[in-house]
Amino acid sequence: MSDHAKMPWRDYGALVAAIAVAGLGLGTALPLSALTLDRWGFGNHVVGALAALTSAGILLVAPFVARWTRRCGARRLLLGAVVVSVASIAVLDASRDLVVWSIARLVFGAAMGVLFTIGEAWINRVLPAAQRGRWLGVYASIFTLCQLAGPLLVKAIDGAALPFVVTGLLFLPALPIIALLREAARDDGLSATAPPRMRSVLPQMQVIVAGTAFFALFDTVALSLLPLFGLRHGLGESVALYATSAVIAGDTVLQPIIGWLSDRYGRARMHAACGAAQIAAALALPFAVHAGWLLWPLLLLLGASAGGIYVLSLVATGERFGGERLIAASAVINVSWGIAGIVGPLLTGAAMEAFGPDALPVALAVCALLFLLVQRLERTRTVAELPT
């Protein structure tokens, strides 16, 4: 049977569509929150702290998702995650109290953690090995295309009487899409026995964790703090939002190509190329912000290389794990996402407050360099362990 015949297109399509709808809501909620808090007079450190709470929610639920899935069913759990997302975003219109906002963002992150842990492990499991890179790239492109629409919607939604209620409603189309999933697919991927502990798969996940952690920082920082980077450099509010959209556009356009190249020439080689491109683009950003049209291709490169690091980390996960070890690896990915998403926005927001907006691209370059160092160390260790 061919790779194409083995692929369950109905489940793949429904999962991709449901996660993409969530990306639209996520891409709207984070920049809308950042601009609202900035308008109320809160500093970069507050915006970064609330962005970190979203990642904290992802971190808190990651170890429990497999157990909840076996108990409730994958489809039911995904439906519940969407409903919780709607409620936790809509409640932000009810109060300016930072405690209320903090709890809501934590709950929202937990719902996103459930959605991404189940969805991405399920997608990775059904893909044919020889085409994993390109189809994960297609998934990433569709997801980020919906995220791209998010910042573009902020200007229109921001004028509504209840902007966060409107934002929450963006998640609702995911409900009928998830209903298309066949519950039998859950039984294929999740057995009745307890999955391996996360620490059992960690020794094979250094590059995966480093790539995921980098993109977690990039994703939260780009959506929450990049608009403020633009504002502090004198860009208008609309242009600052368009800059965020340009980064997401770069992430969107090239992922299938990067995935195809990884299938053809090797994942490790493309992983390293994406890390090097990220460093170059980030370090050039402060110089390009006032260079007119030059800013926009640089932002595209910034987004494409960052997205490539994450997509190829997912490819590496599918290469190395299967069955219940894939579930454990998916949990590790979400834990590393949560930790990096907490620490990254907090430190980057504080650094921008202390040293100015250019602390943001410097942070991205340093973290991309750390990813390349981890990859180099893993490759060196692998060569050293080969029999002579």
End-to-end CA distance of the chain: 38
Q: In 3-state terms, what secondary structure has residue 197?
A: coil
Q: Are 16 and 120 in contact (CB under 8 A)?
A: no
Tokens of 59: 């971190």
Residue 2 is classified by DSSP as -
What ranges do the domains of the chain cover? 3-178+185-385
Instruction: Label residue 87 by pLDDT band (50, 70, 90).
Output: very high
Q: How far apart are CA 177 and CA 173, in angstroms?
A: 7
Instruction: Give the residue carrying structure tokens 């975003």.
Output: 89
Tokens of 157: 């939604």
Q: How far apart are CA 120 and CA 110, in angstroms?
A: 15
Residue 102 is classified by DSSP as H
Residues 238-274 pLDDT 10s: 777 788 888 888 888 888 999 989 988 888 889 999 9
Residues 45-76 pLDDT 10s: 788 788 778 878 888 887 788 778 778 877 88
Residues 146-173 pLDDT 10s: 877 787 888 888 877 888 999 889 899 9
Q: How far apart are CA 343 and CA 217, in angstroms?
A: 8
Predicted pLDDT at 296:
87
Residue 195 is classified by DSSP as P
pTM for the full predicted model: 0.78
Q: Does the domain made of 3-178+185-385 have the CATH classification 1.20.120.1200?
A: no
Q: Where is average pLDDT lowest: 109-118, 222-231, 335-344, 377-386?
A: 377-386
